[in-house]
Amino acid sequence: MLKTLIRSLIVQWEKLISKIKRIQPIDGSSYGLLCIRTARYKGKTLELTDKSRLSKGDFIIEMHLSNIILAKGSVGNATVASDLQLFPYIRAELIILCKYLHSHELHTKIKAIGGMTIHGPGLRRFGFTLYPAQKNLLTALATIWMRILRWAFSRPREAVRLRNRPPKNLEYFYMPISQFFQKYDV
């Protein structure tokens, strides 16, 4: 009961934030699982895996997992019982994102694709590099928010597994746009 109420509040919050920040599903997506927005990078300068630098003011594509879709408990025709079941759908969304960026010529301005997560190991499987978040109030609040999301949208079997793990910390993940095209341009 409590979980259902919190999920519905989160979904409403996400709809509001998506409008304010212009976070949208990828055009052409069958699932709507990944949402994106173009933003300027605001963090400290990072050296990316292709040796280029991501500096304050560079354009990035921020990726967001849609909690609205996760609240339904299924993606496409599949019921989602664990994070691992999302992997093929996320991969398909990344391929669609690659096609979308090519068709809109956005890639000429974009330096990297990334976001923030507490699901770091899964993102490494998709080719993203993880960077630790700075310790500050905003990071602490974002970590708490992501833990609430993880709890609210986890399925019963997954919730048991989560209780036996230490809490995860917030990390940033990025991939240079050139590397993204190499990996997902099919």
Q: Look at residue 158 in the predicted model and tell me its pLDDT.
A: 56
CATH number at 32 reads 3.40.630
Nearest by Cα to 61 from 94, 78, 82, 39: 39
Nearest by Cα to 177 from 131, 133, 127, 130: 127
Structure tokens at 12: 């409403």
Determine the Cα–Cα distance for residues 74 and 48; give it in Å rounded to an integer.
34
Sign of torsion over alpha carbons 74, 78, 80, 85 = negative
Q: Look at residue 46 in the predicted model and tell me its pLDDT.
A: 92
pLDDT digits (tens, 9 = 90+) for 131-140: 988 888 888 8
Taking the CA of residue 63 as centre, how many other CA atoms within 13 Å lie in the half-sphere pointing to its CB?
24
pLDDT digits (tens, 9 = 90+) for 13-60: 888 988 999 999 998 888 888 999 999 999 899 999 999 999 999 999
Stated pTM of the model: 0.83
Which of these ranges, 3-7, 68-72, 94-98, has the smallest mean pLDDT? 68-72
More confident residue, 109 or 153: 109
Helix axes 87-104, 177-184, angle to 10 degrees: 120
More confident residue, 146 or 163: 146
Q: Look at residue 55 in the predicted model and tell me its pLDDT.
A: 95
Q: Where are the beta strands (DSSP E) in the chain?
A: 24-25, 34-40, 46-47, 53-54, 59-65, 74-75, 78-79, 110-117, 129-132, 171-176
Instruction: Identify the top-confidence range among 42-51, 60-69, 72-81, 132-141.
Output: 42-51
Counted domains in the chain = 1
Contacting residues for 155 by C-beta, under 8 A, at least 6 apart: 73, 80, 81, 82
Domain coverage including residue 137: 2-184
Q: In this model, does residue 160 exceed pLDDT 70?
A: no
